[in-house]
Structure 1
Amino acid sequence: MKLPFLLASAAIASAPSAPVVTANSQPNAPEAVSAPGSPAPVTPPRARLPGFAAELAQQPGVTMPSAWAVIADEIAWKALARASGYSRQQARWDYARSLIGRGRGSEALGVLDVMRQDDPDLLMVDAFRLARGAALALMARPADGFAELSAPGLVNNAEACAWRARTLAETGFADQALSQVDCARPALNARKGASRVPFLTAVARAAVESGKPEMAMRWLALLPDRDPAANLYRGRAYLGLGQAAEARLRFARVEKSGSMGQRIDARLSAIEAEVANGTLSNGAALKQLDAVRYVWRGDHVEERALRLSYRLSVETNDLQGALGAGATLFRFYDPGRQGPQFVAGLQAKLAAALDPQSKMPVDQAAGLYWEYRDLAPSGAEGDFLVARLGERLQAGGLYSRAADLLEHQLFVRARDLAQGPLSAKVASLHILAGRPDRALNALRKTVNGSYPDDMIYARKRVEAVALSQIGKVEEAFAVLQDVPGAAVLRAEILWKRRDWAGLATETAATLPLPAGNLSDVQQAAILRHAIALAMLGHEESLSGLRARYGPAFAGLPTAPAFDMLTAVVGSIDPAVVARAMAALPNVSPAGDLAELIEAGPITGKPIGA
Structure 2
Amino acid sequence: ERVLARLDLARFYFAHGMGFEALSILEHVSKALPEIEVYPDFLALRGGARLLTGRVPDGMQDLSHESLKEQPDVVLWRGVGAALLRDWKASGELFDLSIDAFYGYPEPLRTRFMLLAVEAAIATDSDKAASEWLARIEEKEYPVSAKPAVRYLRGVLYSKAGHAELAEKLWRQVARGTDRLYKIRAELALVDLGVATKSLTPAQAVDRLEGLRFAWRGDDLEFDILRRLGGYYLEAKDFKGGFAVLTQALRLFPSSVQGTTLRGQMVKTFHDIYMTELGGDLSPIDALSLYTDYKTLIPAGEEGNDVRRNLSERLVDIDLLDQASKLLEDLIKNSTKPEEKARTLSRLAGIKLLDHKADAALALLDQSQADVATLSQEIKDERQLLRARALSETGKYQEALAVLPAGSGQSTLLLRADMALRAKQWGDATKALMELVGPPPKAGAALREEQAQWLIHAAIAMAQNADFTGLDKLASDYSTAMDKTSKANLFHVLTRPEKMTQMKDIYAAQSRLTEVDMFRGVLDSYRKDKKN
- TM-score normalised by L of structure 2: 0.57
Q: Which residue of 2 aligns with 1:237?
A: 153
Deviations 1:222-269 (A, max 9, x none): 87433xxx45522312424647666545444445xx4xx666434324
1:521 maps to a residue whose letter is W
Contact 1:251 1:266 in 2 (8 A): yes
The percentage of aligned residue pairs carrying the same residue is 15
User: Alignment partner for residue 521 of structure 1, among 454, 463, 470?
Assistant: 454
SS of the counterpart of 1:236? helix
Partners of 2:68 and 2:455 lie apart in 1 by 86
Contact 2:152 2:182 in 1 (8 A): no
Please state how far the C-alpha of 1:287 moved relative to its aligned partner: 2.0
Change (3 A) 1:153 1:480: farther
2:383 maps to a residue whose letter is R
Contact 1:362 1:393 in 2 (8 A): no
Contact 1:431 1:439 in 2 (8 A): yes
Q: Which residue of 1 aligns with 2:49?
A: 101
Deviations 1:511-536 (A, max 9, x none): 758996596435525644765xxxxx
User: Alignment partner for residue 425 of structure 1, among 337, 343, 347?
Assistant: 347
Matched, 1:546 2:485: no
1:177 maps to a residue whose letter is S
Contact 1:464 1:480 in 2 (8 A): yes
Change (3 A) 1:594 1:288: closer
Matched, 1:480 2:480: no
Partners of 1:405 and 1:311 lie apart in 2 by 29
Please state how far the C-alpha of 1:453 moved relative to its aligned partner: 0.3
Contact 1:254 1:263 in 2 (8 A): yes
1:424 maps to a residue whose letter is S
Contact 2:353 2:390 in 1 (8 A): yes
Change (3 A) 1:364 1:158: farther
Contact 1:161 1:181 in 2 (8 A): yes
| Structure 2 counterparts to residues 324-335 of structure 1, below 5 A | 324=242, 333=258
Partners of 1:276 and 1:487 lie apart in 2 by 61
1:579 maps to a residue whose letter is A
Q: Which residue of 2 aligns with 1:592?
A: 521
Contact 1:265 1:301 in 2 (8 A): no
Partners of 2:94 and 2:317 lie apart in 1 by 61
1:363 maps to a residue whose letter is P
Please state how far the C-alpha of 1:179 moved relative to its aligned partner: 1.8
Partners of 1:136 and 1:404 lie apart in 2 by 52
2:378 maps to a residue whose letter is D
Please state how far the C-alpha of 1:455 moved relative to its aligned partner: 1.8
| Structure 2 counterparts to residues 68-79 of structure 1, below 5 A | 71=25, 76-77=30-31
Q: Which residue of 1 aligns with 2:144?
A: 225
Q: Which residue of 2 aligns with 1:351?
A: 276
SS of the counterpart of 1:292? coil
Partners of 2:212 and 2:335 lie apart in 1 by 36
Change (3 A) 1:103 1:307: closer
CA RMSD for the aligned pairs? 6.3
Q: Which residue of 1 aligns with 2:11?
A: none
| Structure 2 counterparts to residues 20-31 of structure 1, below 5 A | none
Structure 1 unaligned regions, length at least 5: 1-64, 81-86, 109-132, 138-144, 532-541, 568-572, 598-609
Partners of 2:278 and 2:167 lie apart in 1 by 42
Matched, 1:453 2:377: yes
Partners of 2:475 and 2:208 lie apart in 1 by 77
- Name the structure where helix makes up a greater proportion of residues: 2
Please state how far the C-alpha of 1:353 moved relative to its aligned partner: 4.4
Change (3 A) 1:350 1:191: farther
Contact 1:296 1:302 in 2 (8 A): no
User: Alignment partner for residue 289 of structure 1, among 183, 203, 209?
Assistant: 209
Deviations 1:365-418 (A, max 9, x none): 8559848996999979995x9877766665555555655666666655784434
Contact 1:156 1:183 in 2 (8 A): no
Contact 1:166 1:199 in 2 (8 A): yes
SS of the counterpart of 1:179? helix
Partners of 2:209 and 2:432 lie apart in 1 by 71
Matched, 1:363 2:311: no
Q: Which residue of 1 aligns with 2:8?
A: none
2:151 maps to a residue whose letter is G
Q: Which residue of 2 aligns with 1:37?
A: none
Deviations 1:98-156 (A, max 9, x none): 597356989x8xxxxxxxxxxxxxxxxxxxxxxxx73277xxxxxxx8xx999999875
User: Alignment partner for residue 92 of structure 2, among 156, 169, 178?
Assistant: 178
Partners of 1:224 and 1:405 lie apart in 2 by 61
Matched, 1:134 2:38: no
Q: How many pairs were matched up?
A: 447
Deviations 1:82-103 (A, max 9, x none): xxxxx89989xx9998597356
| Structure 2 counterparts to residues 565-604 of structure 1, below 5 A | 579-582=508-511, 584=513, 589-590=518-519, 592-593=521-522
Contact 1:460 1:480 in 2 (8 A): yes
Contact 1:177 1:203 in 2 (8 A): yes
1:268 maps to a residue whose letter is L
Partners of 2:52 and 2:262 lie apart in 1 by 32
Please state how far the C-alpha of 1:458 moved relative to its aligned partner: 1.1
Partners of 1:483 and 1:515 lie apart in 2 by 18
Partners of 2:259 and 2:118 lie apart in 1 by 23
Deviations 1:479-525 (A, max 9, x none): 926555668636634654xx55xx46965986758996596435525
2:377 maps to a residue whose letter is D
Please state how far the C-alpha of 1:454 moved relative to its aligned partner: 0.9
Contact 1:310 1:326 in 2 (8 A): no
Please state how far the C-alpha of 1:181 moved relative to its aligned partner: 0.4
User: Alignment partner for residue 268 of structure 1, among 176, 188, 192?
Assistant: 188
2:351 maps to a residue whose letter is L
